[in-house]
């Protein structure tokens, strides 16, 4: 059964989508950008600060749904510039110190609100 996941500890959806959807023990988290959930303003101007906020937002959604970062099986990272890859990895890796999920990371032409990074994730109960 499909369940919509929503928390005030992550930014509200800024379009016709849900923060996350859970189906049969799998959680699909929509792409998160570095917005402060209270102000709905972009946090930071560096890739490090923006990646940290994105991961906090993902963490809040995981927690609301009863998952943790250890349950994440796949992430997709969208970068505004591949020059930011190394610095993004340094922050991202803090959340997955062992057994990290499968991942794709690539640069896109543009991201919402002119941010430097967006990450979507899939978590599963195993």
The yes-or-no verdict on residue 27 having pLDDT over 90 is: yes
DSSP label at residue 100? P
Pairing between β-strand 72-79 and β-strand 2-5 as defined by DSSP bridges:
unpaired
Q: pLDDT of 59-101, one tens digit each?
A: 999 999 999 999 999 999 999 999 999 999 999 999 999 999 9
Q: What is the mean pLDDT of residues 15-31?
A: 96
The pLDDT of residue 57 is 98
Helices 47-65, 85-92: axis angle to 10 degrees equals 40
> 14 has which bridge partners?
none
Supply the pLDDT for residue 101: 98
Q: Domain spans of the chain? A: 2-124
CA-closest candidate to residue 120, choices 4, 24, 30: 30
CATH of 2-124, one of 3.30.70.260, 3.30.70.360, 3.30.1330.40, 3.40.50.1820: 3.30.1330.40
């Amino acid at each position: 059964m499909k369940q919509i996941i929503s928390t005030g500890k992550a930014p509200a959806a800024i379009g016709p989508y849900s923060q996350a959807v859970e189906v049969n023990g799998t959680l699909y988290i929509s792409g998160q950008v570095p917005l402060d959930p209270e102000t709905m303003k972009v946090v930071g101007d560096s890739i490090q600060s923006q990646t940290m906020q994105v991961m906090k937002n993902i963490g809040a959604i995981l927690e609301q749904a009863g998952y943790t970062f250890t349950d994440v099986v796949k992430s997709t990272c969208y970068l505004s510039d591949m020059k930011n890859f190394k610095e993004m990895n340094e922050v991202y890796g803090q959340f997955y110190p062992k057994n990290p999920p499968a991942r794709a990371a690539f640069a896109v032409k543009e991201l919402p609100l002119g941010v430097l990074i967006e990450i979507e994730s899939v978590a599963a109960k195993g």
